[in-house]
Amino acid sequence: MSEKRLEKKTRREFIASAARAAGVVGLGFTAGLVAADGDDGDGGDDAFAWQIDPDLCIACGQCATHCVLSPSAVKCMHAFAMCGYCDLCTGYFEPDPNALNTGAENQLCPVGAIRRKFVEEPYYEYEIDEDLCFGCGRCVKGCDAFGNGSLYLQIKQDLCVQCNECAIARDCPSGAVKRVSVRHPYLLKGKDNAS
């Protein structure tokens, strides 16, 4: 009788073990399907990142103060193809500079994040030092108002922590900060960014 009892217990244990193993395999299969859904190795169709639409941005300055990071993940970018390489760059100089030189009193950027380099008469190249830039947008505003608009703001994806609700997006007065596909994480100046 004890042998029969032992056999039933063993059978129950076997069935219970098989059910647990099937459950684990089923959970693993389901998790694999969920993880692979839409993912072809580059972030998938449903992966998004925060970004600024340069065509909607009004350079209000809130990117510098509303980002959870300090300094902000927002940096100035330069569309070199649009730039006029002007001697009097309104993104670099104050509206009424004392002189057209690199003196701090003449620069629009409060931290000197734009570097001016002579190319040939009368052309200059302007480069952004991203380590200094904190996304205030003063240069962007100056370039948009008096220049050709080649300076614009972007959220640097290598710095952004991808907050569930971006504090900049929440407070952006023009609605320029939005989610974009990680396949195209940067919205470029002068391009159609309706996607």
| Beta strands per DSSP E along 79-193 | 114-120, 123-128, 151-155, 177-181
Same domain for 26 and 53, yes or no, is no
**Cis ω before 54 (30° cut-off from 0):** no
Q: Do residue 94 and residue 124 come from a single domain?
A: yes
- Of the candidates 133, 152, 132, the one whose C-alpha atom is nearest the C-alpha of residue 142 is 152
Q: How confident is the model at residue 32 (pLDDT cuts 50, 70, 90)?
A: very low
Residue 79 lies in a domain: yes
**CA 118 – CA 86 distance, rounded (Å):** 10
Tens digits of per-residue pLDDT, 152-192? 999 999 999 999 999 999 999 999 999 999 999 998 887 65
What's the confidence (pLDDT) of residue 41? 42
* Residue keyed to tokens 């309104």: 90
Q: How confident is the model at residue 113 (pLDDT cuts 50, 70, 90)?
A: very high
**Model-level pTM?**
0.73
Tell me, yes or no, whether 78 and 112 share the same domain. Answer: yes
Domain shared by 122 and 78, yes or no: yes
Query: Do 3 and 74 belong to one domain?
Result: no
Q: Are 101 and 107 in contact (CB under 8 A)?
A: no
In this structure, the answer to whether residues 54 and 150 fall within a common structural domain is yes
Number of domains making up the chain: 2
Please indicate, yes or no, whether residues 129 and 169 belong to a single structural domain of this protein. Answer: yes
- The pLDDT, as a whole number, for residue 3 is 52
138 and 175 co-located in one domain? yes
- Structural domain of 175: 48-181
pLDDT one-digit tens code per residue, 66-87: 999 999 999 999 999 999 999 9
∠ Cα 57 73 66 (to 5°): 65
- Whether 173 is covered by a domain: the verdict is yes
Residues 65, 150, single domain; the answer is yes
